Amino acid sequence: MKPKTFYLTLCLIGAVLPYWQFAPWLLQNGLHMPLFFHQLFANRISAFFGMDVFVSAATLLVFMRTESSRLRIANRWQPVVALLFVGVSLALPLFLYMRERKLEQPKPGLTGQPVR
């Protein structure tokens, strides 16, 4: 399986699995953020996962900004929106898909094309 296909598959999984758990909670509690954070940090194990995701999200933001600037990736706002509305589970594979797609593009001047 090509990396791009694998990353797209992970995008689907990364969007569906978190919302599979979050949607019923949201229907029951609404957008009650104090309750959300109270339950997220209800015990040390859930706090461990919460902190891990926060650090991963911050690291991902820096990585996406650095790589998208270096490679001149178009629409670099899309993984940021994915991070805010779903999480790292969608934003990371989406960005890796976009990065892989950019890396596959021919480089000007290397394939006989004129440099513009």
List pLDDT tens digits, range 27-59: 999 999 999 999 999 999 999 999 999 999 999
Cα 30 from chain centroid?
24
Q: Say what the pTM is.
A: 0.86
Q: What is the pLDDT of residues 48-92, one digit of tens each?
A: 999 999 999 999 999 999 999 999 999 999 999 999 999 999 999
Identify the burial level of 92 via C-beta atoms within 10 angstroms of its C-beta, where 0-12 means exposed, 13-18 middle and 19 or more buried. buried
Helices (H), the chain: 3-29, 33-40, 44-71, 77-85, 88-104
